[in-house]
Amino acid sequence: MAVFSDTSTLIAGPWRFVPPLVLAAASVYLLLPRPRGRSVLWGAVCGIPAIALGGFVCFRSDGAVFPETFLFYSFSTLAVTGGAVMITQPNPARAAICFALVVMNVCGLFLLQAAPFLMAAVIIIYAGAIIVTFLFVLMLAQPTGFSDADDRSREPFLAAFAGFTLLTAVLLLLDHSYPPVKPFVELLNRVDVARSQDSVAGIRNALGDGQAFLNDLGREFRQAPNQKLGKDWKDAIEDLEPELQKKDDRVDVAALKGHLATLVAVGRDIQKAKEVKPLPAENVAALGRLLYSDYILAVELGGALLLVATIGAIAIAGRKPGRAAT
């Protein structure tokens, strides 16, 4: 059906991402380490407007700012900023600290999505093990100081161009596949108003342009959280489309209102299924009890190994370069 092959949503407003991404790519290119020094000032001049413009482009609100919205944008901004500093930092130890900042803010995003297990796993694996191991490598591999290899980047222009081209493609795909929730709610409300009308003319006036309305319905087909609801939504649209394409004198008002009612019912089910479930109060507590009761030996062994490895790395790194091993 033509409704489901419409690509107008891809070019309706995706180009709003281009200015902040171009500025961000220029900022990263200018901040990447190079032998002749970096344009830190010009990188900041490009980077700060890129973050501000990106937040303005991505922020969508109907006037009320909820705590979840504020936390989401706070965690996202800190994670993006930490990631940019991490890849442009010539000092690998400081880059590891920036990576820890990124990990912690990503964990905050996991909590907002009611995923405490992912949050705990990321902290334990990345912040608690990977970063510590990375610092071990730094202490063991560079006992006399940092190498001059840390002061240069290989192909900074190609790296910035390839990275932000990939990021642009991902953002365009997400924008095409996951439009904001508010239009979906407004669309359901419009259908609800239309099915309360008693005449074909009133229904058409409430729905607006018929083809545009069908295109909006087809766009929301991609938003179904599972295959069954997606099939129900598609079937409801296919049942409704022939009635909307008939002339007014040939339309069965009762049948049309019935199709609209079915569409609203399926839409409300999709809306409920897409809502984020509240964070279970016992989720993290149960995980903690499991780790420190049934798996206490494994946790303690892991901590002891990390402690011994830390002491050994410090001892080896503290030796003088020409000192012979005894």
pLDDT at 12: 45
Q: What is the pLDDT of residue 172?
A: 78
Measured CA distances, 84 to 32, 95, 180, 181 (Å): 10, 10, 27, 30
Assigned domain for 165 exists: yes
74 shares its domain with 193: no
Residues 287, 159 share a domain? no
pLDDT digits (tens, 9 = 90+) for 258-268: 888 888 888 88
Give the lowest-confidence range in 75-89, 161-175, 271-285: 271-285
Looking at the fold, whether 288 and 270 belong to one and the same domain comes out as: no
- What pLDDT score does 261 carry? 86
- Read off the CATH number of the domain in which 106 is found: 1.20.120
Question: Which long-range contacts link 167-173 to residues 24+ away (Cβ below 8 Å)?
Answer: 167/21, 168/17, 168/18, 168/21, 171/14, 171/17, 171/21, 172/10, 172/14, 172/17
What confidence score (pLDDT) does residue 325 get?
A: 46
Which residue, 161, 177, 193, sits at the end of a domain?
A: 177
236, 197: one domain = yes
Nearest Cα neighbor of 267 from 223, 318, 316, 212 is 223
Is there a domain that residue 4 lies in?
no
Taking the CA of residue 267 as centre, how many other CA atoms within 13 Å lie in the half-sphere pointing to its CB?
A: 25
Out of 1-5, 53-57, 196-200, pick the least confident: 1-5
- The answer to whether residue 60 scores a pLDDT higher than 70 is no
Q: Which two tokens stand for residue 177?
A: 């596949």
Asked if residue 164 lies in contact with residue 25, where contact means CB atoms within 8 angstroms, the answer is yes
Count of domains forming the chain:
3
pTM of the model: 0.56
